[in-house]
Amino acid sequence: MDLHLEDFRREYTQGGLERDDLADNPLEQFDRWMQQTITSGIPDPNAMTIATVDASGQPSQRIVLLKHLDAKGFVFYTNLNSRKAQELKQNPKISLHFPWYLLERQVKVCGVAEQLSATEVIKYFVSRPRDSQLGAWASQQSRPISSRAILMQQFESMKNKFAKGEIPVPDFWGGFRVKPHQIEFWQGGAARLHDRFQYNLQENGVWEIQRLEP
């Protein structure tokens, strides 16, 4: 097998990043970049890779959607029996990655995940489309299943079960807020001389900013 992957290369020329361009708070800077990403029209601007680690030290990654951002951190939702949720219960350290390739940008977040309150979970769950609510009930996320047909049978079963009235929040469904202590902003540069700035949270609550070599 030879895909000649070494032949795929291009220059990154959309623009640089300077210290004066950055907000003092990385969550404010992230909000700026997210707004620009949304405006650009690229698909799934809130898609992010999240990395967790199991009890043996094996990292695992998957793509989920960022559903909320505030001064306290980054929020996503999941089945609490899923692999990622179980790994976070054992080790709450987590990394997020936003791959905005079309803008020649990426953002990496390192932090600690805390489970959301029931109030926050209910508020979001009732805002979801009905089929998404049913899907949460139908799937035992991360569990082996022999065919898609069985999954669809489970979905139809939940559809019939909750045919009338509102769909309750499953007791196995919830979410996490990632409280960051390190955030890196990466902007592609010509000749692979990319611009990288890393924010590190200090004990006094102030964010320190440093440029990293590419």
Percent of the chain with pLDDT over 90: 87
For residue 59, give the H/E element and its range.
strand 59-65
pLDDT tens readout for residues 84-123: 999 999 999 999 999 999 999 999 999 999 999 999 999 9
pLDDT of residue 14: 85
pLDDT tens readout for residues 117-166: 999 999 999 999 999 999 999 988 888 889 999 999 999 999 999 998 89
Query: pTM to 2 decimals?
Result: 0.92
For residue 108, give the H/E element and its range.
strand 105-115
- Please give the average per-residue pLDDT across 1-17, as a whole number: 82
The SS3 call for residue 5 is helix
Structure tokens at 67: 């559903």
Of 19, 130, 143, 192, the catalytic one is: 192
Q: Is-catalytic flag, 211?
A: no
Identity of the amino acid at 209: I
- Find tokens 């990426």 and name the residue: 106
Structure tokens at 23: 């907000």
Distance of CA 26 to the CA centre of its chain: 16
The SS3 call for residue 211 is strand
**Ramachandran quadrant class, 37 (left: phi over 0; alpha: psi -120 to 50; beta: rest):** alpha
pLDDT of residue 140: 87
CA angle 66–136–82, rounded 5-degree value: 70
CA angle 31–35–63, rounded 5-degree value: 80
Q: Is the pLDDT of residue 6 over 90?
A: no
